[in-house]
Amino acid sequence: MMLAEKGSHVKVNKMSSHEVCIADLDRHASLNKCLLELLETAPVNYLLSFDVDYAVVPWSGGKDSTATLIPSLKALDKKVVPVFADTGLEFKETLKYVDDLACQLGISPIKLKAPIKEAIEFGRELPTIRNRWYMHLKVKATQEYIRQLSKTGKVLMIVGDREAESPSRLKRLATIEHEDHVEVAPIKLWSAMHVQLYLTYNKVPLNPMYDYGFFRVGCYICLALRSWETSLILGDDRLKYVKANLLFKVFAKEREVSI
């Protein structure tokens, strides 16, 4: 029987129950500089392999679409057309974040109207798991814009899908050819940590909604909104404008959440 070699002695200190250790993202990004630069090479080269006139990047203000936007700009520069689909139900923080970061990056995103708020106000039921009609309106706004662009040139749509997000995105191809454009997912293999460190390394701030405690960024009646995120809205004075919103009250009632 072979005995395993004795490993290095590692000293472990137990943290007190009141001690909090906060990771320094800037330091971690700096320590992983070589990895992050290498990580960026793949999507940049991938995007450069396409001969296109327009590179449309659907930009929600979330970390993944923002991390997709950066290498897109580095690879395709002036061909990049960021598009923001406004549902009328966005957090004010997200709207400001998109405007502020657009100024920082020197870009002018196209703001498309996805009339979800108006549809609900005119009597349409709130979206459900079985009836995600709001997604159709949001996607339709971008598709119609791409259709118009495709009349004057070749269009590439660059999405921020990642395999780790869901089984459906795991199965989705990295390159999909549509009738009027090609869809690509350049950060498909990235982890959430890759995304966060990459943005930090490029001096791109995160949407403040993440600092509030939200896991993802979307509208405030989104089906993907978790119960604890709903609780954040109810308990954070910075979001009292959402709590006072009539449509959010209807949404909370359907989720059996007391306001």
- Report the CATH number at residue 195: 3.40.50.620
| Residue 87, in any domain of the structure | yes
| Residue 41, in any domain of the structure | yes
Q: Structurally, how many domains does the chain consist of?
A: 1
Q: Distance between CA 165 and CA 163 in Å, rounded?
A: 6
| Residue 245, in any domain of the structure | no
pLDDT value of residue 184: 98
| Residue 223, in any domain of the structure | no
Q: Distance between CA 156 and CA 53 in Å, rounded?
A: 8
Q: Which is nearest to 154 in space by CA: 83, 210, 81?
A: 81
| Residue 7, in any domain of the structure | no
DSSP conformation class of 213: T
- CA-CA-CA-CA torsion for 161, 166, 170, 176, nearest 10 degrees? -40
On whether the CB atoms of residues 112 and 139 are closer than 8 A, the answer is: no
Q: Mean pLDDT throughout 153-158?
A: 98
State if pTM tops 0.85. yes
| Residue 90, in any domain of the structure | yes
On whether the CB atoms of residues 149 and 54 are closer than 8 A, the answer is: yes
| Residue 194, in any domain of the structure | yes
On whether the CB atoms of residues 146 and 157 are closer than 8 A, the answer is: yes
Q: Mean pLDDT throughout 3-20?
A: 56
| Residue 127, in any domain of the structure | yes
| Domain of 77, in residue numbers | 25-217
pLDDT digits (tens, 9 = 90+) for 63-85: 999 999 999 999 999 999 999 99
